[in-house]
Amino acid sequence: MHTMWKGSISFGLVNIPIKMFAATEDRDVHFRFLHKKCKSPIKNERVCPSCNEKITPEDIVRGYEYEPGQFVIIKDEDIEAVKPRSAKTIEILDFVRLSEIDPIYFEKSYYLSPQETGDSKAYNLLRAAMKDTGRIAIARITIRDKQSLAALRVLDNVLVLETIFFPDEVRPVSQIPGIPEDSATDQRELEMAKQLIENLTSEFQPEKYVDTYREALLEMIHRKVEGEEIVSAPEAPQRNVIDLMAALQASLDKAQELRREAKASASGKGKARGNPFDNFSGNAEDIPSRMPKELKDAVWLKPVLTAWVNFLEWTSDGNLRHPKILGFTDLSPHEATGAEFIE
Partner 1 sequence: MNKVVKLMSKTEVINIEGKKIKLSNPEKLLWPEAGIRKIDYLARMIELAPYIIPHAKNRLLTTIRYPDGIHGESFFSKNLPEYAPKWISRDVWNDTEYALLDSVSTLAWFVNMAALEFHTSFNTSDRDEYPTCLVFDLDPSEGQTFDDVIEVSLLVKEILDSLAITSYIKTSGASGMQIYIPTGGKYHYNDARKVNEFFGSYFARKYPNKITIERMVNKRGTRLYFDYLQMWQGKTITMVYSPRAKEKATVSMPVTWNEVKRGIKPEDFTLNNAMDRLKKVGDLFEPLLSVKTAEKSLDDVFRKVLAE
Q: Is 334 in the site for partner 1 (CB under 8 A)?
A: no
Does 247 participate in binding partner 1 (rule CB under 8 A)? yes
**115 to 111, 189, 213, 219: CA distances (angstroms):** 12, 57, 39, 41
Return the number of the residue (76 or 94) whose C-beta is nearest partner 1: 76
Do the Cβ atoms of 292 and 319 come closer than 8 Å?
yes
Helix ranges (DSSP H) in the chain: 76-82, 120-133, 187-200, 212-226, 241-265
88 in contact with partner 1 (CB under 8 A): yes
Q: Does 2 bind partner 1 (CB under 8 A)?
A: yes
Give min distance, CB of 312 to partner 1, in A. Answer: 7
Q: How far apart are CA 146 and CA 106, in angstroms?
A: 16
DSSP lists the bridge partners of residue 18 as: 7, 114
Applying CB under 8 A, among 39, 75, 131, 146 the residue interacting with partner 1 is 75
Query: From the list 15, 195, 251, 337, which residue makes contact with partner 1 (rule: CB under 8 A)?
Result: 251
Output the smallest distance, CB 6 to partner 1, in A: 9
47 interacts with partner 1 by CB under 8 A: no
Min CB(77)–partner 1 separation in Å: 7
Q: Quick check: 8 and 25 in contact, CB under 8 A?
A: no
Residues ≥6 apart with Cβ < 8 Å to 304: 330
Q: How far is the CB of 76 from partner 1 (least distance, A)?
A: 5
Helix (H) or strand (E) holding 167: none
Q: Contact, 1 vs 94, CB < 8 A?
A: no
310 in contact with partner 1 (CB under 8 A): yes
Considering only 133, 195, 249, 332, the residue that binds partner 1 (CB under 8 A) is 249
Interface contacts to partner 1, rule CB under 8 A = 2, 57-58, 61, 75-77, 80, 88, 236, 239, 241-242, 244-245, 247-249, 251-252, 256, 310, 312-313, 321-322
